[in-house]
Amino acid sequence: MSGEVSAGPAPQDRQRHEGGSSEGVSALRAVANKWIGRSVTRLEDPPLVRGRGRFAADISFVHQLHMRIVRAQHAHGKIASIDTSAARALPGVIAVWTAADIAEVPPIDFREGRIPAFEPYRQPVLATEQVRYVGEPLAAVFAEDPYLAEDAVDLVSFDIEEMPVLLAAEAEPGEFSPGRSTEVSVIRQGYGDVDAVLRSAPIVVDLEVSIGRHSGVPLEGRGAIARYDAARDILELHGAAKVPHRNRDLLARMLKLAPSSIHVHESHVGGGFGIRGELYPEDFLVCVAAMRFNRPVKWIEDRREHLIAANHSRQQLHHLRAAVDNEGRILAIDDRYFHDQGAYVRTHAARVVHMTAGILPGPYRVPAYRAVGHFRLTNKTPAATYRAPGRYETTFVRERLIDAIATRLGLEPNEVRRRNAIAAHEMPYHRPLEALGEEIEHDSGDYVGLLDKLLAALDWDKRKAELARRRAVGEAVGAGFAMFVEKSGLGPADGVRIEVDGSGMVELVTGGASLGQGFETVMAQVCAEVLGTDYRRVRVIHGQTDRIAYGIGAHASRATVMTASATHNGAVKLRAKAIEAAAALMQARPDALEIVDGKVLRKAEPAGPSISLGELAEHLAPTSKTLGGREPGLCAEGWFRVKHQVYPYGIHFAVVKVDRETGGVAVEDYVIAYDIGRAINPALVKGQIVGGFAQGLGGALLEEFTYNERGDPLATTFADYLMPTTREIPEVHVILREDFTSPLNPLGIKGAGESGITGVGAAIASAIDDAIGMPGAVTQLPVTPQRLKEILNRSVSSPPRSRAAS
């Protein structure tokens, strides 16, 4: 069952046709140009599998300095003094900076521009008067080698007057600074008269659920290497990927430089997940130091730093009340939640807490809705986006609600889903809520239809009976579902420039970015298919701000939707230009020509004369005699703009087995059904989904940034921050559907980057409830053995009930 793509023109079929000779030359030729929908091998792999990739730590410049950060060891306190003299005296140490040394650099601003209300809560590059979390940068050491830099850090002493710590967002807010509360703001979204509906509803379901603090932990930690090239008056920053142009603009704003004088370069990336590639204190420090010392400056994060200094995510507590009718139809949802932002508001500002409110209703009709989100600071590492921000959290909350309604009414959870899901004929479905600054409009889909397909693929009735049989003989096994709507393809625009050189090689320059997801391959597939060449003849340049002026990068499952659409549009123009030029040279009508495998030829005469794209590029050179009145160059720009994001959807299914004695949970089976609209490369989509699942499993069962009562982080190594390994991850079956192509872009694409993670916490929680026969038992993620054991001990007094078998 794994990785199948069904409905629509199945890519496997296209591949199968490729070898067929019986269908004649024209069919073969059509297949030769077919790259979209095929699981072709990745263009980016050859250097990676040969150990010749270039990750942040691989980037070095002659004469470079190494930076090391002195980090706060107290969760909250006043900085009485910092003594750097002993560190500065160490031979090989060039400088040790504290906040006073970079007084001209303002606190780190928001990526999308100024937000005056949040400004007081921004993080200074180096702590000024107070420290607010363990790990906060206090000072920076610059030395000739990284060992020396670390030795020098040991010699920096500081005197911190400890202050009381605030560690829970749901606790009474404290004072951030005189007269300023730790509650940064209260986010409100909603519609309808929720109070009236709650008053008159026959049933009101109450829920209190929480999601643990965890985050994206990429294999490659952060890194920042800056170099100021005085000869060109250019400041270069290497290391951060994801949003190079946005980062350039933010750097320019904060360092008071012209954007064009900063070049941000993306290299290979060992995972991004939303947290890597944002601008952090270290990025500013290396830039300022590179200019001040006139030497390149390199900083490579270590794992311990990563776990306390890079963005955390996810921690929320929801108090939710839902009004429901006697048939299980949701009439209203009233959600009050507490978002633990950690110590400062970082580059993302209120993105996660805001999206949480917008996205919570997900696939269901919710006639009246109110979400009130308390955006609060605590003395922990600052938080921001992590793969499926707001969706992992709200899918857990919302699907716990579905289960609770099912239990209350004695219905199957999937029946509750059917009764509430937005129907296919209601598309596009508009909801007066916002996500990422856009009004939500579900573009297309059939949620119940996908559920039916999943149930059929699972042979659900048989499986359900089998699980019941196993439970009857004492095994604690159970199954759970989670339905969700993703959002993807964040606009508003993306552009590419495509140019063919004299060898016929195509260069595609984009402001998109790669986080290792196969971006180059996918763009090359789209470009090659539209243009009519081999995808291996397309070189994709991304994440280089000196090559293209505009770009929004890779996040929010946007890259394939936005950049591939721009690529499509650019390739259409390029193709037209090639055909037009070739028509003149070949004395043919443009519509009698086509481009196959990089050659323009007559449709009627495929074996006849042809002209290659490389030759055409030479004909179109500025000095060419055959250029005529045309704009020189075989090149084109393609742009794509959207008003709304795309809303793909999916369902997760989990089977778990609980060890009642230890509280251990093993995932026996996991299936993800997902409608992607159109899969450019099904194998890569599957990779995204399976990888996302693994991370979701971490958040469901293992990963948690824990703190003691003093605010000391406890999960600062991989011995305490537990990530799932191959031994904990079951094989994931992906049912990839192309049922509803998106009407919002030329290829019908929906994003896929986050769909594997979104429903994991929800589905596993539901399966655990089912396994132990205690509906609604799981209210907190991650479900650690100790927490589950406590739940099970509670049940010793009240014997297990079975929920209406779903």
Partner 1 sequence: MKPARFRYHAPKTIEEAVDTLAEVAGEDGRVLAGGQSLVPIMAFRLARPAHLVDINGVEGLRRLSVEGERLCIGACVRHAAFHTPVVDGPLGRLLATVVRHIAHYPIRTRGTFCGSIAHADPSAEWCLVATALGAEMVARRAASTRTIPAQDFFRGIMTTALEEDELLIEVRLPILPADTRFGFYEFNRRAGDFALGMALVAFRLQGGVIREPRVALGGIESQPRRIAEAEQLLAGRAAERAAFEAAAAAVASVVDPLEDAVTSATYRRDLSVTVTRRALERAAA
Q: Binding residues for partner 1, per CB under 8 A?
A: 146-147, 150-151, 154, 302-304, 661-664, 702, 706, 708, 714, 717, 719-720, 722, 724-725, 727-728, 784-786, 789
Which of 218, 724 has the CB closer to partner 1? 724
User: Are 668 and 744 in contact, with CB atoms under 8 Å apart?
Assistant: no
Which of 336, 787 has the CB closer to partner 1? 787
Beta carbon of residue 691, minimum distance to partner 1 (angstroms, whole number)? 18
Rounded to an integer, what distance in angstroms lies between the CA atom of residue 579 and that of residue 589? 9
Rounded to an integer, what distance in angstroms lies between the CA atom of residue 610 and that of residue 603? 10
User: Are 545 and 245 in contact, with CB atoms under 8 Å apart?
Assistant: yes
Beta carbon of residue 726, minimum distance to partner 1 (angstroms, whole number)? 9
User: Are 676 and 736 in contact, with CB atoms under 8 Å apart?
Assistant: yes
Alpha helices in 98-243 (DSSP H): 146-155, 194-200
User: Are 611 and 583 in contact, with CB atoms under 8 Å apart?
Assistant: no
Beta carbon of residue 144, minimum distance to partner 1 (angstroms, whole number)? 13
DSSP string, 193-207: -HHHHHHH-SEEEEE
Edge-first strand order for the sheet with 368-376 is 183-191, 368-376, 330-340, 316-324, 203-211
Rounded to an integer, what distance in angstroms lies between the CA atom of residue 328 and that of residue 408? 9
Which of 627, 722 has the CB closer to partner 1? 722
Which of 221, 751 has the CB closer to partner 1? 221
Beta carbon of residue 318, minimum distance to partner 1 (angstroms, whole number)? 24
Which of 633, 785 has the CB closer to partner 1? 785
Closest CA to 83 of 27, 45, 139, 41: 139
Rounded to an integer, what distance in angstroms lies between the CA atom of residue 236 and that of residue 681? 34
Q: Are strands 732-737 and 538-541 parallel, antiparallel or unpaired?
A: unpaired
Beta carbon of residue 708, minimum distance to partner 1 (angstroms, whole number)? 5
Which of 304, 573 has the CB closer to partner 1? 304
Alpha helices in 587-681 (DSSP H): 613-619
CA dihedral 764, 769, 773, 774 (to 10 degrees): 170
Which of 168, 621 has the CB closer to partner 1? 168
Which of 191, 718 has the CB closer to partner 1? 718
What residues form DSSP beta bridges with 250? none
Which of 614, 698 has the CB closer to partner 1? 698
Beta carbon of residue 304, minimum distance to partner 1 (angstroms, whole number)? 7
Beta carbon of residue 792, minimum distance to partner 1 (angstroms, whole number)? 10
Closest CA to 566 of 601, 602, 542: 542
Which of 250, 760 has the CB closer to partner 1? 760
Which of 736, 783 has the CB closer to partner 1? 783
Q: Is 212 helix (H, G, I), strand (E, B) or coil?
A: coil
Sign, Cα dihedral of 545, 546, 547, 548: positive
Q: How far is CA 175 from the centre of its chain?
A: 33
Which of 304, 464 has the CB closer to partner 1? 304
Rounded to an integer, what distance in angstroms lies between the CA atom of residue 206 and that of residue 288? 52
User: Are 483 and 399 in contact, with CB atoms under 8 Å apart?
Assistant: yes
Single-letter residue type at 67: M
Beta carbon of residue 698, minimum distance to partner 1 (angstroms, whole number)? 10
Tell me the Ramachandran region of residue 597: left when phi exceeds 0, alpha when psi lies from -120 to 50, beta otherwise: left
Beta carbon of residue 725, minimum distance to partner 1 (angstroms, whole number)? 6
Beta carbon of residue 577, minimum distance to partner 1 (angstroms, whole number)? 53
Residue 365: both structure tokens together:
């009709």
Which of 329, 789 has the CB closer to partner 1? 789
Beta carbon of residue 718, minimum distance to partner 1 (angstroms, whole number)? 10
Rounded to an integer, what distance in angstroms lies between the CA atom of residue 189 and that of residue 202? 25
Tell me whether residue 780 is exposed, middle or buried, using C-beta atoms within 10 angstroms of its C-beta: 0 to 12, 13 to 18, 19 or more: middle
Beta carbon of residue 728, minimum distance to partner 1 (angstroms, whole number)? 6
Rounded to an integer, what distance in angstroms lies between the CA atom of residue 223 and that of residue 57? 7
Which of 56, 288 has the CB closer to partner 1? 56
Beta carbon of residue 316, minimum distance to partner 1 (angstroms, whole number)? 21
Which of 68, 555 has the CB closer to partner 1? 68
Which of 214, 321 has the CB closer to partner 1? 214
Closest CA to 243 of 560, 525, 520, 556: 556
265's CB contacts (< 8 A; 6+ apart) are: 236, 237, 238, 244, 543, 544, 545, 546
Beta carbon of residue 275, minimum distance to partner 1 (angstroms, whole number)? 19
Beta carbon of residue 473, minimum distance to partner 1 (angstroms, whole number)? 17
Single-letter residue type at 583: A
Closest CA to 505 of 486, 543, 531, 480: 531
Beta carbon of residue 45, minimum distance to partner 1 (angstroms, whole number)? 24
Longest dimension (CA), the chain: 92
Reported as half-sphere exposure (CB side, CA atoms, 13 A), residue 494 has a value of 32
